[in-house]
Structure 1
Amino acid sequence: MMSKSQPPDPEHSAEGSYLDGQLLVAMPVMEDERFARSVIYVCAHSAEGAMGIIVNRPAGSINFPELLVQLEIIDKADQIKLPENAESMRVLKGGPVETGRGFVLHSSDFFIKDATLPIDDGICLTATVDILKAIAKGAGPKRAILALGYAGWAPGQLENEIQENGWLHCAADPDLIFGSDVEDKYTRALHKIGIEPGMLSNEAGHA
């Protein structure tokens, strides 16, 4: 599930028009069901395209301790010995691309050389199994979420979707990204932008 290779890492650009380190919030006109009411943390965005992790979609019945057993990181009998932050860690559907791979968004107090991608504001991305081993031992980052899969955009695609009122965007908020209230994140993200959900018309952008 996890691999030794790094996630897609479009060349980082300092240009202000790129949205790496920001949150994307789906508009009601979002026709793609895979992204309806989604909040996405943008990990990389450049002229080469974009890559992000959906932070508000639970991965159904999969829980983190069971995943550690499946990946043979721990024995089934050791589930009860896991540290509290491993016990409570959320497993999310990160997006429709490479759904068999795990991507850990986490606080910057944990770093693996040549594997961890620092993004912005103390948030990093690691996609190797080593971070799961560290979390299982209580030696991982203070805050983390595990996402299965990611969202990807071809060059210019995300810009077009924003232009067509598909997405709003705002500064990232670690409390929102790592919060356990997954079901409330969409409303919280809209409030952060200063919008009440009822204010958004399904006809936005189609006047």
Structure 2
Amino acid sequence: MKNVSPSYLKHHFLIAMPHMADPNFAHTLTYIVEHTANGAMGLVVNRPQELSLADILEQLRPDIEPPALCEHVPIFIGGPVQTDRGFVLHPAGQIFQATAQLEGDLALSTSQDVLFAIADGVGPSKSLITLGYAGWEAGQLEAELADNAWLTCPYNADILFNTSSELRLEAAARHLGVDLNLLTSQAGHA
């Protein structure tokens, strides 16, 4: 028997199926930052919260008035783990104190300097800021995939950076040729 290496979903989107019961992930689109035999880490990219970048900057540098444009930069709920920790997805090119180069000309920065750069107009041209992340233990994501909890979709920068957040889930499904409205919540019961 040939040894087949498992297929990991790093640099893919996870599309929550309509029957997803977990309130943390119902109707979400999640970008998978890392996926190995040890587990997976992702960022939900279509759930803006009440906070804006201006709110975050008031906490990080209270002595400096946040630029008005920061009121319109949404902060997304990246997932239920470490919800006080920030993650910024942006096109590769600029390096900050804590920047990891991801695949496909994408980078992830976790240091405050990226937020200050965005506020000061010298940051990445496009970015998506989340608080928190989604984490899966070894084998957990594979089990959820086997249970049809998720559809997988190749990463698409246009969906992440050029599509409004409320349309990202549908756009990723359309990218696969799937209409989520036609999928029943009774998956697997023919």
Tell me if TM exceeds 0.5: yes
- Superposed CA RMSD: 1.8
Aligned to 1:147, which of 101, 110, 130?
130
1:22 match: 12
- Between Structure 1 and Structure 2, the one with more strand by share is 2
1:31 aligns with 2:21: yes
Structure 1 residue 74: deviation in Å?
A: 6.0
Aligned to 1:97, which of 67, 76, 81?
81
2:57 match: 68
Q: Is the 8 A contact 2:17 2:180 kept in 1?
A: no
1:107 aligns with 2:91: yes
Cα distance in 2 for partners of 1:53, 1:69 equals: 24
Structure 1 residue 35: deviation in Å?
A: 0.2
Structure 1 residue 111: deviation in Å?
A: 1.5
User: SS at 2:13's partner residue?
Assistant: strand
Extract unaligned runs of 5+ from structure 2.
none
Deviation readout 1:160-183 (Å, 9 max, x if unpaired) = 100100000011111211235111
User: SS at 2:114's partner residue?
Assistant: helix
Farther off after superposition, 153-162 or 104-113? 104-113
Structure 1 residue runs of 4 or more that deviate by more than 2 Å after TM superposition? 86-90
Give the % identical residues: 39
2:67 match: 79
2:145 match: 162
Farther off after superposition, 196-205 or 99-108? 196-205
2:109 match: 126
Q: Is the 8 A contact 1:90 1:180 kept in 2?
A: no
Extract unaligned runs of 5+ from structure 1.
1-14
Count of residues in correspondence between the two structures:
186
Deviation readout 1:103-127 (Å, 9 max, x if unpaired) = 10111121136x2111111111111
Farther off after superposition, 102-111 or 15-24? 15-24
Structure 2 counterpart of 1:165, one-letter code: N
2:186 match: 203
Q: Is the 8 A contact 1:58 1:93 kept in 2?
A: yes
Structure 1 residue 90: deviation in Å?
A: 2.3
